[in-house]
Amino acid sequence: MELSFDLSKSTRRAFRFSELDVAERKTSEFIPERYIRKQDALLPEVAEPELARHFVRLSNLNHHVDKGFYPLGSCTMKYNPKINEDVARLAGFADLHPLSPTSLTLGALQLIYELERLLAEISGFDAVTLQPSAGAQGELCANLITRAYFKNKGENRTKALIPDSAHGTNPASVTLAGFESVTVRSTPQGLIDLEDLNSKLSPDTALIMITNPNTLGLFERDITKIIEKVHSAGALAYLDGANLNALMGIVKPRKMGFDLMHFNLHKTFSTPHGGGGPGGGPVGMTKELEPFQPVPVIEKKTDGYHLNYERPLSIGKLQAFYGNFLVMVKAYTYIRVLGASGIADVSKNAILNANYLKNLIEDVLEVPHPQYCMHEFVASGKALRKFNLKTTDLAKRLLDYGFHAPTIYFPLIVSEALMVEPTETESVETLECFAEAVRRIIQEAKINPEMLRQAPHTTPVGRLDEVRAVKELDVCFRPDRKTQG
């Protein structure tokens, strides 16, 4: 696996500037001497064709959503429409400086304002802030709003309830906001245990954080009853909107009774997020909570759009600037292209795909909760234990068949879990090919378990010593295909 430095040849250039048509001046006239480099930077010298081919080769070594199926449960790795990228590359958006004055950014402010209104319409909430730049920051923002709300009421509530079927970031967000996390158990059917909920509700409860559909891919049938109990205790109900891909256009979270929720622009609304970002985690809220949202708030007036910082009850700023703007551009484009009926079709097709794929593989993999799922489902690789194999061996072998593995070992309430989310953008043929790959791997486990134990066999890097790889990030390419160090 070559580095760009391996291609470097002295005097080669990918780009050459034209001759100066103005008088030459010394760098020291603009930059203090102490900041001027004494030696040239050690950079590769590569011609444009070699540079382009080098990065294309690297991209082909990776698995990505433009290359193949990416059924990561909970992550919603759907296809990213290229029109979103085209719009985000418009110079008026891509070249906009974050410190530009309001008078020069009215188009951007209008887009943000209208996207807030679109998300409010989809969710049913009265107000939306686009400032949080990730789902977890959206969770934190909602928790901080909750804390500010109760403080303003003169109530010192200290606890947040989190079902064991919720997303894994919830306890961390609660703790960062200053609340104590309290776990609510699930029933054997995978839904919130109402008796356990009753025993955990108290005058100290500030909110409950619910993922609905939950991480088992199941819709909480008693959701209105759950929220009524929470409200009766004087607490708020928060929706982790990471699974909104199963709801939007079908039901509005506010109509279920939720007081706050976060969205994932980088999941539900199609902006690319593999490899760590960027993201967007807007928060929707009721009119009672709206005064506590972060500043600045974008307001529309007769003379245009303005940033309002004069919000005495606000939790303050979440970051230096107003979120990841180009992520907002892509989400706005996605919503406007689809329209209301298209948004509903996304959810319907996601649910249809998930149930179809579940039915294709449930005779070879255990599905602990076989009832109809929403946009994702959880299977278990426990059956592999009799061959001295684990879920991770199945996941690694899938790479040899050209498929990225599903999310594994999450949620924790299912042993040897495989969490599968096909999304709405995959064809019937892709789902059937994936199911056939799973079937073949299960057959391999019976005949030649060592094939799985040593997988993957066809990827640029073989199976890693994962503990060592975490501790020693210098992972070398080994052409002999043996375990990598």
Tell me, yes or no, if the pTM score tops 0.75: yes
SS3 assignment for 296-351: CEEEEECCEEEEECCCCCCCCCCCCCCCCHHHHHHHHHHHHHHHHHHHHHHHHHHH
Is the separation of the CB atoms in 390 and 383 below 8 Å?
Answer: no
Among 281, 250, 232, CA closest to 130: 281
Q: Residues of CATH 3.90.1150.10 domain(s) within the chain?
A: 340-471
pLDDT tens track for 246-261: 999 999 999 999 999 9
| More confidently predicted of 168 and 367 | 367
For the stretch 354-400, pLDDT in tens is 999 999 999 999 999 999 999 999 999 999 999 999 999 999 999 99
Letter string b/e over residues 129-162, b meaning 16 or more CB atoms within 10 A of that residue's CB: bbbbbbbbbbbbbbbbbbbbbbeeeeeebebbbb
User: Is 3.40.640.10 the CATH classification of the domain at 86-337?
Assistant: yes
- What's the pLDDT at 63? 86
Residue 448 confidence (pLDDT): 97
Q: Which one has a higher pLDDT value, 165 or 314? A: 314
Asked if pLDDT for residue 485 goes beyond 70, the answer is no
User: CATH 3.40.640.10 occupies which residues in the chain?
Assistant: 86-337
- What's the pLDDT score for residue 275? 65
The rounded distance, in Å, linking the Cα atoms of 205 and 203 is 6
pLDDT at 477: 46
Question: Between the CA of residue 327 and those of 84, 243, 260, 319, what are the distances in Å?
Answer: 9, 18, 22, 16
Instruction: State both tokens at 283.
Output: 């928060």
Give percent above pLDDT 90 in the chain: 78
340-471: CATH topology: Aspartate Aminotransferase, domain 1 (3.90.1150)
Which sign does the torsion angle of CA 202, 203, 209, 211 carry? positive
